[in-house]
Amino acid sequence: MIKIRVPATSANLGPGFDCLGLALDIWNEISFESAEKMSHFVIGEGAEKLNKGFRNLLTKSFALVHSVCGKKLSTVKIEASNKIFMSSGLGSSAAAIVAGLCGANEILNKPLSENDLLKLATETEGHPDNVAPALLGGLLTSIITRDEIIWRRYEMPEWTIVIVNPQVEWLTKTARAVLPKSISRTDAVFNIGRTALVIDALRNGDLSLLQKVMDDRIHQPYRLKHISGGTSAYKIAKTFGAAALSGAGPSIINFVEATSAEKARREIINIFEERGIETKSIVTKPSNQGVYSIKNPSLV
């Protein structure tokens, strides 16, 4: 038996659309045990949806590694205990893909390298910004070229991070459909400089710099207006520290001083509750550890 632990991620981080992502200290745990036939069962976040059928991103990714390596599919009992909110902008799809790929890779005695896994995960997800930190931990900058994914990883210092996830229907597909096909040079320049400064601020634990530069003109303005309460919640979050839409949303991610975390969480929740929208929320921190496996977990 092996157990895979895979972290949540927050992509974009304001201006770094489709190229920045950060691993968070929120984990899904998935065990794979040899069995006579395939089965898949989830407890925790997303259980209701994921237990409806067997074909999902995790099981498809598990099968993908077998077919890429020319191996017969290993029959396993898969059990997941999920903490990552689904459809929230916290990389639950990336976590499922990475867990499926890494689970299969472990079972087959690691035929694929880290870069092979990143390439497969990126092809499955469509962009590397969530899958790269889920695999590697920390803060990741990554780009896709014709032949490879080029990435750099940065170790993160301590940060206090508030996440508030409004319970609204918001699919990544919709979140991409509302974006304009092209942007002005002014907006491109606005984002380029800020992306470089966001990386610097995050690596150095510099909250006052992050608060000044975590703005975006490529995706957030177009998305926030479709999320009920989104713009107001984002504005309140900014009064406590640096804020962004997490990934494609609808969660708001807020980097704050540890002493203001509970107040920030309460006030962001209030904005949504005033509109009759329920929320899930968490105070967390970055994870410098990406996905990892525990062999024979009962013996550890």
User: Footprint of ligand HSE on this chain (CB under 6 A)?
Assistant: 11-12, 17-18, 127, 129-130, 172, 175-176, 219, 247-248
CA 198/CA 254 separation, integer angstroms: 14
Residue 11 or 99: which CB sits closer to ligand HSE?
Answer: 11
Are the C-beta atoms of residues 160 and 285 closer than 8 Å to each other? Answer: yes
Residue 92 or 254: which CB sits closer to ligand HSE?
Answer: 92
Provide the minimum distance between the beta carbon of 223 and ligand HSE in the complex, in angstroms, as a whole number. Answer: 8
Neighbours of 186 (CB within 10 A): 8
Angle, helices 57-68 vs 114-125, to 10°: value is 130
Residue nearest to ligand HSE (CB): 248
Residue 37 or 181: which CB sits closer to ligand HSE?
Answer: 181
Provide the minimum distance between the beta carbon of 247 and ligand HSE in the complex, in angstroms, as a whole number. Answer: 4
Task: Indicate the DSSP class of residue 298.
Answer: G
Residue 245 or 269: which CB sits closer to ligand HSE?
Answer: 245
Provide the minimum distance between the beta carbon of 134 and ligand HSE in the complex, in angstroms, as a whole number. Answer: 12
Angle, helices 230-240 vs 261-273, to 10°: value is 160
The helix (H) or strand (E) run that includes residue 215 is: none
Angle, helices 114-125 vs 128-136, to 10°: value is 150
Neighbours of 111 (CB within 10 A): 14
3-state secondary structure of 123: helix
Residue 156 or 218: which CB sits closer to ligand HSE?
Answer: 218
Are the C-beta atoms of residues 87 and 35 closer than 8 Å to each other? Answer: no
Provide the minimum distance between the beta carbon of 165 and ligand HSE in the complex, in angstroms, as a whole number. Answer: 14
Provide the minimum distance between the beta carbon of 18 and ligand HSE in the complex, in angstroms, as a whole number. Answer: 4
Provide the minimum distance between the beta carbon of 176 and ligand HSE in the complex, in angstroms, as a whole number. Answer: 5
Residue 31 or 254: which CB sits closer to ligand HSE?
Answer: 254
